């Protein structure tokens, strides 16, 4: 007869059974049994100790975004659990598969305001895809099986599993393959042929079509299908911030990023298009601006696996609830039919492409050519050029914090592969860049991982330099230091007559009045160098 196991050992064995190789976990009183159990599987699961639970959550996100696998983070109850809130909201907004496990006070004192108690399931109800409070040890294997299934299927997202300490310490003989109980959950959605024929008929009638592709392409693993579909039909592609990398930036059909921080020519094209093929996008406000004015001349086809996104912000003339990879594969199959042979005719949109090329030539992304300072756009583009010339771009993963540097990286880096660009888009969470880079490096130790960061964003999780050093995860950081919250300053200049309202990060006008990042990095045993002259940049 099988031996009884503790809830903590059962939970950790569930991680092993689900193929988890790395967890980011910070211990505390209510999660100690889980950490003790992790020490018993250290030959199969690597436990990385962040220096703050938020750092651990963002690192798990970096791991998940870089691999497509479910990221796992663990924290104790109370403040440990609440430090996950930002990470869970970020994963929910950006559709990142995450399982966050939190310790909880014993079941007999839940609701009494016990030491380090928070009702974390209630706190996170609106910012998780699903959530569990496990009060019976016999439910643990089913809950863990469901949590991983929900996190990675359909539209990916974060799942919270809250486990009281007495459940961790209890013993039972586990069933590691229990039936799941998910009535009404239908993650596998596929477009009908009738819907897809409507899409192709709309393309046939179009003279100025455009593909508007987002993070759903990457989540679905549909980048090859997107490229094939665009090339076969000759339709240009504009990308959201999370769509970057899903279609090669230097492809002649790529219009780069659209929206508030996008290229002029992408926005002109979406404005003039008579057909918008929206694939794995959610029509967020940073793309659309004023919704009534966005793409008002065009018929909208919206393909998304999440039915709640269809018609949420913009009415779709042809709504298609489907896995976007399946939809593109079926569209490519239909294009082989003689009935749609005309849609693959070369030069079909020659006049439309000529117009876009004119806009591209007249309104390129640009910045001043200066020798007296290092412009941040220049530093980003030069780093990209150096890696390109060395043949290292394909194996480089880029992360960012949030702010001006994030948008400049999106504009002046040229992405060629999916999952090489990791950034906090929907939530816009500062402090994301460094821990996300650490998570990506843990997943791919032989790849170059670079965090392009700003001084404000970097300071929010600078303590994770200690994690990077101690765990031997040598990420690189290109820190663009302007001593200000640059994005907010930009808005102050535009909307508030340049009145500075607490956006300066120093204490005075001289150099000694703001943090010395070289000394800080060296204090964490990391190498660092400050560069202020343009001629020193390449070597540094």
By annotation, the residues acting in catalysis are: 53, 115-116, 165, 487
Strand runs (DSSP E) across 351-473, as ranges? Answer: 396-400, 421-422, 448-454
In angstroms, the CA 324 to CA 510 distance is 53
Neighbours of 127 (CB within 10 A): 21
Closest by CA to 316, choosing from 236, 199, 194, is 199
Structure-block tokens of residue 520: 């800080």
Is 428 buried (19+), middle (13-18) or exposed (0-12) by CB count in 10 A? middle
In angstroms, the CA 353 to CA 370 distance is 33
In angstroms, the CA 305 to CA 155 distance is 6
Q: Where are the alpha helices (DSSP H) in 220-302?
A: 223-233, 264-272, 285-288
Which residues are CB-neighbours of 472 under 8 A, at least 6 positions away? none
Q: How many residues does the chain have?
A: 540
Cβ atoms of 33 and 106 within 8 Å: the answer is no
Neighbouring-strand partners of residue 50: none
Which residues are CB-neighbours of 286 under 8 A, at least 6 positions away? 241, 259, 260, 261
3-state secondary structure of 237: strand
């Amino acid at each position: 007869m099988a031996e009884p196991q503790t809830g903590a050992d059962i939970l950790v064995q569930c991680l092993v059974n689900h193929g988890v190789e790395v967890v980011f976990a910070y211990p505390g009183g209510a999660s100690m049994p889980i950490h003790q159990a992790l020490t018993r599987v250290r030959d199969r699961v690597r436990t990385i100790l962040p220096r703050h639970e938020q750092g651990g959550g963002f690192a798990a996100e970096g791991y998940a975004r870089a691999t497509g696998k479910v990221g796992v983070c663990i924290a104790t109850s109370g403040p440990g659990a609440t430090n996950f809130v930002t990470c869970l909201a970020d994963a929910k907004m950006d559709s990142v598969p995450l399982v966050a496990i939190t310790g909880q006070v014993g079941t007999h004192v839940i609701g009494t305001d016990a030491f380090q108690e928070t009702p974390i399931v209630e706190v996170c109800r609106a910012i998780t895809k699903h959530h569990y409070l496990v009060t019976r040890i016999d439910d643990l294997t089913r809950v863990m099986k469901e949590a991983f299934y929900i996190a990675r299927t359909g539209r990916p997202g974060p799942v919270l599993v809250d486990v009281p300490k007495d459940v961790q310490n209890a013993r039972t003989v586990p069933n590691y393959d229990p039936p799941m109980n998910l009535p009404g959950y239908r993650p596998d959605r596929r477009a009908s042929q009738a819907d897809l024929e409507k899409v192709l008929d709309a393309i046939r009638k179009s003279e100025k079509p455009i593909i508007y592709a987002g993070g759903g392409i990457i989540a679905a693993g549909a980048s090859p299908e997107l490229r094939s579909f665009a090339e076969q039909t000759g339709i240009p592609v504009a990308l959201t911030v999370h769509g970057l990398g899903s279609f090669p930036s230097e492809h002649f059909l790529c219009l780069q990023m659209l929206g508030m921080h996008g290229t002029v020519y992408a926005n002109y094209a979406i404005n003039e298009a008579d057909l918008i093929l929206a694939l794995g996008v959610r029509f967020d406000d940073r793309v659309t601006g004023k919704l009534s004015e966005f793409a008002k001349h065009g018929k909208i086809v919206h393909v998304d696996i999440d039915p709640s996104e269809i018609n949420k912000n913009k009415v779709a003339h042809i709504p298609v609830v489907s896995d976007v990879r399946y939809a593109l594969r079926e569209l490519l199959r239909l294009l082989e039919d003689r009935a749609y042979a005309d849609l693959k005719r070369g030069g079909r949109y020659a006049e439309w492409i000529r117009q876009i090329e004119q806009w591209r030539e007249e309104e390129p992304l640009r910045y001043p050519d200066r020798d007296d300072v290092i412009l941040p756009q220049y530093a980003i583009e030069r780093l990209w050029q150096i890696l390109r010339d060395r043949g290292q771009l394909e194996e480089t993963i880029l992360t960012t914090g949030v702010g001006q540097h994030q948008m400049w990286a999106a504009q002046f880096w040229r992405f060629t592969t999916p999952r090489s660009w990791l950034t906090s888009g929907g939530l816009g969470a500062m402090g994301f860049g460094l821990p996300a880079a650490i998570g990506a490096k843990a997943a791919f130790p032989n790849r170059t991982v670079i965090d392009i960061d700003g001084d404000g964003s970097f300071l929010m999780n600078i303590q994770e330099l200690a994690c990077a050093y101690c765990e031997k995860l040598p990420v690189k950081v290109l820190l663009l230091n302007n001593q200000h919250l640059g994005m907010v300053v930009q808005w102050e200049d535009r909307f508030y007559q340049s009145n500075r309202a607490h956006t300066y990060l120093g204490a005075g006008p001289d150099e000694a009045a703001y943090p010395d990042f070289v000394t800080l990095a060296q204090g964490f045993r990391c190498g660092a160098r400050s560069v202020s002259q343009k001629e020193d940049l390449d070597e540094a």
